[in-house]
A = this chain, B = another copy of it.
Amino acid sequence: MIFYDCSTAPNPRRARMFIAEKGLEIETREVSIAKGEQLSEAFRAVNPRATVPVLVTDEGTVLTENMGIAAFLEARCPEPPLMGRTPDEKGLVLMWNAIVEQQGGLPIADTLRNSHPAFKDRAIPGPSNYAQIPELAQRGKDRVARFYDLLEARLTESRFLAGDEFTLADISAFVFVDFARVIKMRIPEGNAATTAWFENIKSRPSASL
C-alpha cells in the first residue's frame, strides 16, 4: 500500500491518525500543499481530483476521501475497531463523524480559505479555482462558535463523541479542533468537558504524528 500524506493539512492528518491507531505502518509519500504539489501532473496521475489524503491498496484501488480510506482500513484490519462494533454503534460513529465534518471541519475550512491570502482563488480544494467570498469567512467563524457549544454539550454527557469508546469521530473532531488555531478559534475557556477530552486524545501516540 502507499499513503499520500501532507504534514500540514487537517484531512491527511485524520487518515494518518486512523492508520496509526490501527497499528499499521504504510509506505508514505509527502505531497506538499504549500508547494502546490497536489496540482502537479505527477500527483494528478494518482488522483485527478488533486486532493490528499490518498491510499492506494495492495489491489491497486485508489482511495481518496477520509471516509473511503477509513471504510477500507476498518474492513481490512478490524482490530481495534474505530467505527463501532454493533449496528447501533456503527450508526453513531458515522453520524457523529458527519456532524463533525459539516458543523466543524467545513466552517473552519470556509473561514481559512475565504480569508487567508495564501488561498486567494483557492477557496475550494481540488483542480478548479474559486474566488474567495469574505462573507463566508465570517459565517464560518459564527458556525465554529456554535460547533464548540455542540461539542461541549455532547462531551458533557458522553466520554467520547459516539459513546464510551474512542472512534473515528473523535479523530475527526480532534484534528479539526486542533487546526482551528489557524483561524484563532481555540476551545473556549470554561468548556471543561471539551478541554478534558482534547487533552486526553492529545496524549495518544497517534496525535503526535
Name A residues whose Cβ lies closer than 8 Å to a Cβ of B.
49, 55, 57, 59, 61, 63-76, 83-84, 86-88, 90-99, 103, 123-124, 126, 128, 130-131, 133, 135-136, 139, 142-143, 146, 150
Contacts and interface: CB of A to CB of B under 8 A. Distances in A.
9 contacts: A49-B150, A66-B98, A67-B67, A68-B94, A75-B90, A75-B91, A128-B146, A130-B142, A136-B136
A98 B65 contact: yes
Chain A's interface: helix, strand, loop or mixed, by majority?
helix
A95 B65 contact: yes
Contacts of A70: 94
A123 B142 CA distance: 13
Nearest to A97: B67
B130 A139 contact: yes
